[in-house]
Amino acid sequence: MVGAPDSPGFALVDHHGRHVSEQDFRGRYMLVYFGFTSCKVVCPRALAKLSTVLDRLGPLAARIAPLYITVDPDRDTPETMRAYLEAGYPRFLGLTGPQPAIDAAKSAFRIFAQRKEIRADSDDYQIAHTAIAYLIGPTGDYMLHFSDATDADTIITKLRQCVSATPEI
């Protein structure tokens, strides 16, 4: 299935400096989005949309752990991610780590990410990456995903159906 992760696992560091893995979120849904804090358009738009979705879900949102996993660990330290998320997207927990750990998470979720230099004489760059939000169930199984083009109302409807249909663990 296109977009479906093989084994949605990770072992990373959250934006508070704690080591976490998918096991730490068992019993809750995970809404996982990969991006980076220097992203100019796609990531802020996606995080804003997903934040609105979570706000509109009301009490059901408490059963969902929104996770923002960086594809740019060189710039996205725990401190950078904390400042970025607390300023604009406080529902999200930022996850980073060494490049091999990020690569393993990207591979597990089938995420494409490629660094693109803005100018040859500059250290500035952007990263082209998969723009999909994944819903992982409370037992760690992939449930569904939402492309960047999926509107907030559709995401809300599908999340309500999934979360309401599953008893709390």
Q: Which residues of the chain have pLDDT under 50?
A: 1-2
pTM for the whole structure: 0.91
Domains by residue range for the chain, with CATH: 11-117+124-163 (3.40.30.10)
- Does residue 30 sit in helix, strand or coil? strand
Residues 14, 11: Cα–Cα separation, whole Å? 10
Residues 111, 129: Cα–Cα separation, whole Å? 7
- The end-to-end CA distance of the chain, in Å, is 27
pLDDT at residue 128, as a whole number:
77
pLDDT at residue 122, as a whole number:
62
pLDDT at residue 29, as a whole number:
97
